[in-house]
Amino acid sequence: MKTLADFNFEGKKAIIRVDFNVPLDENFNVTDANRIEAAKPTIDKILKDGGSVVLMSHLGRPKGVEAKYSLKHIVAKTEEVLGVPVKFASDCIGEVAEKAVADLQAGEVLLLENLRFYAEEEKGDLAFAEKLAKLGDIYVNDAFGTAHRAHASTTIIAQFFPENKCFGTLLAKEIESLNKVLNNSVKPVTAVLGGSKVSSKITVIENVLDKIDHMIIGGGMTFTFIKALGGNIGNSICEDDKMTLALEILEKAKAKNVQIHLPVDVVAADAFSNEANTQVVDVNNIPAGWQGLDVGPKSLEALEDVIKNSKTILWNGPLGVFELEKFAGGTITLGNFISEATQNGAFSLVGGGDSVAAVKQFGLEPKMSYVSTGGGAMLEMLEGKTLPGIAAIEN
């Protein structure tokens, strides 16, 4: 795996694919700079070597050139995070970009305009990728969030740098962390899979079964399994057409000696609301008109030992509707168990939009070994797919 450590950037211009697709408020202020902060170590190393940096990213889903999606809005925040001035080019290819790059001195940073102002970016257009490639001596991909897309700036561009391409610090860390869970894990290995649908996790489940000892199933997809096993789930969410599949998963797990842990009790509510009436009930006997919205206390008690005895933990998906305060308890408690296990030497990897949102919301992020930055990309790696953005650097 070629990383930044394999290059000295002195006198070189590094063109870096970053993921600066950050949220902006109505006044175009950056409301969460996490993704910019995540790219800082890569940029720092290049500048420290005596190189210069050309940053390229997308922002939002513009239809052609749309002022509200201009990356000029994030220049001030990027300067603040990096602690150096950031120049801005009002285009990402052509004369404007080429002149800005030609004027760039060692130690300077240039941010190009939104790549997606050109339809060619998402189409993976070769000629467009070649125009981008003109803007640097070394290509660095540090955008895990887009590594599963075969876009011009994430994948196609790499072929113009046969020798001079590498992973940035962030992307290298993502690959390393996922490999640690999927291929080099210390046993016992536990996967916590939550979220609302079995259908969105099937391929993940099938791919990780050979690599784990325990699988904890939580969140809304619990009820597809419980109903398939003959339980009464009241008004709980359920994918009726996936019940046979749920039973097949249980059979496969059994054949591979993987212990499946389903909740034994749930916090049920008479409405999907923070104002709802609630009661703790047996997972197999949820009353008509009620729905399970969080995992119950007995279930958590049983999970505590499983988590705390694990040496490798993958957490993908919450155990309840944590967005509603009343039903966040299970997810918070699980997070605390995982952070305790991590403190005692386990390796914990958190990935997937909702679990990442939960650990951030409840202040658990610093207590995990690694929190992934790419929802879709991480999911595809967990499914065993080769991501085009990673393959392009490795080839």
107 is catalytic: no
Establish whether 124 is an annotated binding residue: no
Establish whether 116 is an annotated binding residue: yes
Sign of CA dihedral 202, 207, 208, 213: positive
The answer to whether 139 and 159 have CB atoms below 8 angstroms apart is no
- Residue in 2, 252, 298, 376 annotated catalytic: 376
- Residue in 72, 197, 311, 360 annotated catalytic: 197
DSSP H/E element including 294: strand 291-295
Establish whether 151 is an annotated binding residue: no
Establish whether 353 is an annotated binding residue: yes
Backbone angles phi, psi at 7, to 5 degrees: -130, 145
353 is catalytic: yes
Residue type at 224 in one-letter notation? T
Q: What is the Cα–Cα distance from 298 to 258, expressed in whole angstroms?
A: 21
Locus of tokens 């290049």: 46
Contacts (Cβ under 8 Å, ≥6 apart) of 28? 68, 73
Helix, strand, coil content of the chain in percent (nearest 5):
45, 20, 40
311 is catalytic: no
Establish whether 165 is an annotated binding residue: no
Q: State the alpha helices, DSSP H only, in 134-239.
A: 169-182, 202-208, 222-228
Establish whether 17 is an annotated binding residue: no
Q: State the alpha helices, DSSP H only, in the chain.
A: 34-49, 75-82, 94-102, 119-123, 126-133, 169-182, 202-208, 222-228, 243-255, 297-308, 329-343, 353-361, 375-382, 388-394
- Residue in 35, 87, 131, 165 annotated catalytic: 35
* Tokens at 147, concatenated: 């590594």
- Residue in 40, 72, 298, 353 annotated catalytic: 353
Establish whether 60 is an annotated binding residue: yes
Establish whether 61 is an annotated binding residue: yes
Task: Look at phi and psi of residue 281 and say left if phi exceeds 0, alpha if psi is from -120 to 50, else beta.
Answer: beta
Establish whether 383 is an annotated binding residue: no
* Helix 75-82, helix 34-49: angle, nearest 10: 60
Strand, helix or coil for residue 387: coil
376 is catalytic: yes
Closest CA to 73 of 114, 104, 14, 19: 114
Establish whether 149 is an annotated binding residue: yes
Establish whether 177 is an annotated binding residue: no
Residue 188 neighbours by CB distance under 10 Å:
16
Cite the active site residues. 35, 197, 353, 376
**Residues in binding site for (2R)-3-phosphoglycerate:** 35, 116, 149
**Residues in binding site:** 19-21, 35, 58-61, 116, 149, 201, 292, 323, 352-355
**Residues in binding site for ATP:** 201, 292, 323, 352-355
**Residues in binding site for substrate:** 19-21, 35, 58-61, 116, 149
